[in-house]
């Protein structure tokens, strides 16, 4: 079985990234709140915000996008999603390494407090919770900001 490649996303990846984003968020409800925007707006968000204004990496399994990482300057990990049939294979850890390489002085992210699996994952990878809110996001759901800083 060939390994899954991690590579920079291209504009051609936008439909697959948008579909994966919608699929994972839908499958993960209610642990992760549903996207508050209509499904048809997700592709435009991926094309015109994530890819055009940020930096997106995809996990490519023989031509199928099975995960994505969205980064934004100066140090934000905005999104990390893996297809349910590819979880537990180390793709999340590989994406975290990409984020650390891109932002060697430190990375921050927000995660929903209800997404306990993601919180455990990030803490295992050296992220530390530093701020909690009761829903200061468009979903209105309690979240937590986690930060990773290099040792030394």
- Res. 2 pLDDT band, cuts 50 70 90: low
- Res. 1 pLDDT band, cuts 50 70 90: very low
CB atoms within 10 A of CB 29: 10
Output the CA–CA distances (angstroms, integers) from residue 54 to 4, 36, 50, 88, 89, in the order listed: 23, 21, 5, 26, 26
pTM of structure? 0.93
CATH code of the domain in which 97 resides:
3.40.630.30
First to last CA, the chain: 39
Beta-ladder partners of 96: none
- The structural domain count of the chain equals 1
Domain of 39 in residue numbering reads as 5-148
């Amino acid at each position: 079985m060939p390994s899954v490649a991690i590579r920079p996303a291209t504009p051609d990846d936008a439909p697959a990234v948008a579909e994966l984003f919608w699929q994972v968020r839908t499958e993960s409800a209610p642990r992760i709140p549903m996207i508050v925007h209509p499904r048809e707006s997700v592709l435009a968000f991926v094309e015109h915000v994530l890819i055009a204004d940020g930096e997106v990496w995809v996990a490519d399994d023989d031509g199928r996008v099975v995960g994505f990482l969205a980064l934004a300057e100066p140090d934000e990990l905005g999104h990390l999603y893996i297809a349910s049939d590819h979880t537990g294979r180390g793709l999340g850890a590989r994406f975290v390494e990409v984020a650390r390489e891109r932002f060697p002085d430190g990375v921050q992210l927000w995660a929903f407090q209800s997404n306990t699996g993601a919180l455990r994952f990030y803490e295992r990878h050296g992220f530390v919770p530093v701020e909690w809110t009761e829903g200061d996001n468009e979903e209105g759901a309690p979240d937590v900001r986690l930060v990773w800083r290099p040792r030394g």
